A and B are shown apart, each in its own frame.
Chain A
Amino acid sequence: MEALLDRLKTRFGVFDFEQKKTYQSFCSVDKLSLVSLVTYLKATEGFKVLVLISVVDWIEDGKFQITYLLNNPELKTDIGIRTFISRDNEEMESIHDLWEHAPTFQREIREMYGINFPGSPRVDESFLLEGWDDIPPMRREFDTKKYSEDTFFPRPGRKTNDPAEYMKQKLYPDEK
């Protein structure tokens, strides 16, 4: 893994390298280098499998983290590539031509976070939320509680418990 890191540092300027397990590492790369890095890993380093594309919303920093997790089935190693994009310019280059299932991830991310992947097949088709007209729901500023209060009426006579308070009474009755 260290030899691979050296190569990636020299060619693509990866940073924040972390080895989590013997077979799993994560690193970050600039948004503009991401597609060339992923292409290189697939074509040259044997990371032939795209495990997932995932997004983390760091609203306090004004950034979205997009993680591409690749797997090398021969060496049985994973590498997670993180890249950060601004929440104000939520657009990322598509990798739909590299893997057949990449458009599915990108379509879901488009719907759930509003991040666009220009050129990705069917990226603007609704994935889960047909007819959704609110802000993308996986963004941190989307308030699920307020949405459900506005959308659904509370059932009359229903008794509600605060889950945290209920568990506290059950598990730690002596704690004040």
Chain B
Amino acid sequence: MKNKLNILNWKPDRSSFPDMGEDGKPVISLDSEKFIKVWQGPNHPGITGNMSLELTISGDEVVESKTHVGYLHRGFEKLFERRRYIQCFPTCIRMCVPEPDTNEYNLARGVEELDGIEVPEMANWLRMIVLEMARLQVLLRMVPGQAGTMGLGLGVQWGMYYRELILDRMEELTGARIYHMYILPGGVRGLLPDGFKQRLEENLVKIEGFLKDIDKLILHNAVFKKRAIGIGHIPKDWVDQYGIVGPVARAAGYQRDVRKDYPYLYYDQIDFDYNIEHDSDMFARFLVRRKDLETTLDILRQIMAKMPDKGEIRAETPNVLHWKIPKGETYVRCESSRGEYGFYMVADGSEFPRRINLRGPSYTHAIAVLEKLLVNANISDVSAIMLSLATCPPEIER
């Protein structure tokens, strides 16, 4: 019996595996027949997008990983240079498929900052509602999706249903389910429909019930815990060194949330706290996102209670076809479900942007962090680690 236990608890010492050369890189020779190359992707392994990983494995252990992107490149940043600012909106939302509203918001805010436009109060509250609903529908997929990457697909099916409820509200408010184009420079496109708050509240109550189911199905699931605790551990000193943001940084114990650090819209009037964990592994990141879900429900309720019933929703703007934005540059950011999401914008005084550059969380999470994190990981954990970092290739490729 004693021997059996020892076998179960046996953990090989992999600290010096693979062999490292003098240049600090792993020594890998395919001719040695100890290693093989496996390509994961560009198909989705879960909800992590069309990117591929060139994995070198020994047995079932990854010894080297390289991220390859480019399967979704549509040259958005180049296209912006030849479009008027208003024409950039339908394009920019495609830079992040699951959460397009952050793109609209950043672009609108960049234009407003560069041209000194004051947005009416009501429009800012409506922007907050849309941004939080967008965060909610992403988290409803992503939280159970973490278990989905390990074969527990039931939670994802449930989550998709609740996500559809939020998409119904999005459709009601904006006319579209995925790409809303609701936020425009100077304001938003419309007011809340009659009875919207009540219907949203009914959805939020249902989602609260779903959270309890998630806890029973995933959080207290022994298999999930076994596969998530201690896996994909990110050392705390990586956070600044790799530019890690959002839930991944918060799971490492860092207080990083753009809504609190650089308050925009009316987030300074909303009562919420950083959701922090300290273990910095896949399980900690799951817990942070699980808490983020609850926080989002709470924030949505606070917004609905505090926002006025009516008011102006668009500031006066110049004719959008001849709108020349004064020369200048700015960096605007907001908190997406995956972390800080920023636009660096440069205007040259013409009707066309000189440069709009997106900096999304995946730019570092899916490349520098993932490549290093996968070394010594088991190949069956690869897609789960990807999802815990919330990789989203469109925001890398732009």
Residues of A within 8 A of B (CB): 20-21, 23-24, 26, 48-52, 54-57, 65, 67, 69, 73, 76, 78, 80, 99-101, 103-104, 126-130, 137-138, 140, 142, 144-145, 163-164, 167-168, 171-172, 175
Contacts and interface: CB of A to CB of B under 8 A. Distances in A.
B70 A100 contact: no
Contact of B355 (A54, A142, A167, A172): A54
A46 B79 CA distance: 36
B330 A20 contact: yes
A104 B368 contact: yes
B324 interface: no
Nearest to B86: A167
A128 B397 contact: yes
Contacts of A126: 70
Contact of B331 (A65, A78, A101): A78
Contacts of B87: 163-164, 167
A51 B342 contact: yes
Contacts of B364: 101, 104
B357 A54 contact: yes
Nearest to A98: B241
A129 B319 CA distance: 37
A142 B240 CA distance: 36
B13 interface: no
Nearest to A56: B355
30 contacts: A20-B328, A20-B330, A24-B330, A24-B331, A49-B240, A50-B243, A51-B342, A52-B342, A52-B359, A52-B363, A54-B357, A56-B346, A65-B346, A69-B344, A73-B240, A73-B261, A80-B329, A100-B241, A100-B368, A101-B242, A101-B243, A128-B397, A137-B78, A140-B81, A144-B79, A163-B83, A164-B87, A167-B321, A171-B320, A172-B319
Interface of chain A: mostly helix, strand, loop or mixed: mixed
Contact of B262 (A52, A67, A76, A130): A76
Contacts of B320: 167, 171
Interface of B: 69-70, 73, 75, 77-79, 81-84, 86-87, 113, 238, 240-243, 254, 256, 261-262, 319-321, 328-331, 342, 344, 346, 354-355, 357, 359, 363-364, 367-369, 372, 397
Contacts of A48: 240
Nearest to B87: A163
Nearest to A55: B355
Contacts of B256: 73
A65 B348 CA distance: 13
B73 A129 contact: yes
A101 B355 contact: no
Contacts of A56: 346, 354-355
Contacts of A130: 70
A101 B83 CA distance: 30
